[in-house]
Amino acid sequence: MVRQGMNTFYEQLKDRSKKRVALLVDPDGYDNKSLEELIEKINLYPPDLLLVGGSILFNPIEITITALKLGTRLPVFIFPGNLYQLSDRADGILFLSLISGRNPEFLIGNHVLAAPHLGRSGIEVIPTGYMLIGNGKTTSVEYMSNTSPIPGDKPDIAVATAMAGEMLGLKSLYLEAGSGATHSVEPGIIRSIRKSISLPLAVGGGIRSTETAVELFNAGADMIVVGNAVEKDPGLIKEFYQLK
Ligand code: 1GP
């Protein structure tokens, strides 16, 4: 059975009066020592959510998930790049449907394969419309999923896609500029989408400073996701914590 209702992370996320910060931990981005140091920082300046995953992984996701579960009290969710990244040890999963693309495997195919496993594991499942927004550089998601992003200068397509996601019953949206993107998603696109839907809106990719985070929050993001920037400078965790 899929976990829903009280005491789920989604219950918190639905409360859009609070701005949230998620930290994306890439299992390939940390060794034992740097992960231990990261956990110390997380406990001092806790984000709201820990995401674990990536487009392609060389290290086993279970080791990172287990370390974060043992070392922190935060919800640990899978941010899956593919089916090899399922794990019963996580608290939940952003069940991503890549609605910006037209590859059936990433819209529904992988989900069918994952469903029995997720049903058995009982972890929380948050159905999430994942929208890749282009910014001029080919991203790992684009290449690995064999899909095109929504052009960054076509807010009307982004808005219609977000509306369709909400009408289809998805429970949250994630606007993705791509890991390590030179620019985060444009605030203008976030603003247009925010006006058209009421779902919780996460925004990630290329967020390197609290200034950018504030801009994205002001445009209507409910949660920002930071990965690379903290990997390079774990001290940033404190700065993002102070935003909340
Ligand atoms: C990538 O949105 C996440 O899928 C985070 O991106 O690593 O650029 O922060 P960054």
Q: What is the pTM of this model?
A: 0.97
pLDDT band at 115 (very low <50, low <70, confident <90, very high): very high
Q: Which domains does the chain have, with CATH numbers?
A: 18-241 (3.20.20.390)
Q: pLDDT tens, 192-236?
A: 999 999 999 999 999 999 999 999 999 999 999 999 999 999 999
Any ligand 1 atom below 6 A from CB of 51? no
Q: Best of 133, 207, 230, 231 to mutate for ligand 1, by most ligand atoms within 8 A of CB?
A: 207
CA–CA separation, 71 vs 44, rounded Å?
12
Q: pLDDT tens, 5-57?
A: 568 999 999 999 999 999 999 999 999 999 999 999 999 999 999 999 999 99
Nearby residues of 220 by Cβ (< 8 Å), 6 or more positions away: 190, 191, 193, 194, 195, 201
Any ligand 1 atom below 6 A from CB of 181? yes
Any ligand 1 atom below 6 A from CB of 206? yes
Q: How far apart are the CA of 122 and the centre of ligand 1, in A? A: 27
